[in-house]
Amino acid sequence: MEFFHKVPNINFLGLRKFTFAASIAVLILAVVSLSIHGLNFAVDFTGGVTVQVAYPGPANLQQIRSTLVADGYKDAITQTYGTPDEVLIRLQPKKGVSGKDTGNAVLALLQKADPQVRLEQVNFVGPEVGRDLATKGALAFVLTLAGILIYIIFRFEWRLAVGGVLATLHDVVFVVGFFSVFHLEFDLNVLAAVLAVMGYSVNDTVVVFDRIREDFRIMRKGTPIEIINLAINQTLSRTIITSGTTLLVVIALLILGGPVLHGFSVALLVGIIVGTYSSIYIASAVALVLGVSKKDLMVRVKEEKKVDDMP
């Protein structure tokens, strides 16, 4: 399936200086925001209380959250747990209040609206668990970057590998910086979305790199910038169709997924857009700046030693 009837002829890399400058400016903003404001970590990372309650019928999550926010639990997160009747609430306890007392206070608050609400269980998540999750998330990120670097070096060439890793790093910093600048809540769902964005970005980058390698091998004429531009144009149809259909799903998830999946959807939405951009203007452009050429991507023929016949 093709989006265009014929391969377009867009000079993507002609804008590489402008896109480099724009990306650097945005990344500086992201790093500054992360340095000053940090991230608005959710209960998953900071620790807190989880309260599970049961309703006699399907629960109104929006009404429950509004009740909790009105009582001072501004960061309360509500979601169904197994069935529409079961609700899991995650929140920060008030200062000086224990986890058990917080559970009882939440139950009393909810019973004012519906006396039949039952308390199922209360769990306290300590800050140590949150720090452990944050450390493992950072480790997963570093190991993923290392894996991407090794994979692209072995499959393609080190200049392309550097471009691919920088593009992935660019996407992650952009998404995380976006959450810092707009002070959006960063929870485990968002962390999962960031790791998913890394995979999505690498997949798109590898498709472009594969066509670049193929074009370098079959084209006898043309400068590196002309060949890379052609490869990007040849994969543009696939990029638009893949990114477009994925964005439709993510937008539907953003609209219909509710507050629990809001951060996850936003991270994916921003990540897919930025990942598509970086595959063209970061990964390929960096490889060009590093001097990738035809000889770097040609098939290496092993020289066979000739053995003279013995007399």
The closest of 217, 198, 227, 221 to 287, measured between CA atoms, is 227
Distance CA 219, CA 211 (A): 12
CB-based burial of residue 182 (10 Å sphere; 0-12 exposed, 13-18 middle, 19+ buried)?
exposed
- Where in the chain are all domains bearing CATH 3.30.70.3400? 48-125
Predicted pLDDT at 121: 86
Predicted pLDDT at 239: 87
Distance CA 188, CA 134 (A): 9
Q: Tell me the CATH number for domain 12-39+129-295.
A: 1.20.1640.10
* Contact between residue 103 and residue 122 where contact means Cβ atoms under 8 Å apart: yes
Predicted pLDDT at 305: 45
| pLDDT block averages, 10 residues each, the chain of length 311 | 72 90 94 90 78 89 88 82 84 77 87 88 75 79 83 83 90 94 87 88 88 86 88 90 91 85 92 92 90 70 45 46
- Where in the chain are all domains bearing CATH 1.20.1640.10? 12-39+129-295
The dihedral sign for the CA sequence 235, 237, 240, 242: negative
CA 37, 43, 45: angle at the middle one, nearest 5?
A: 65
Domain 48-125 has CATH 3.30.70.3400: yes
Predicted pLDDT at 265: 93
Predicted pLDDT at 127: 67
Predicted pLDDT at 82: 73
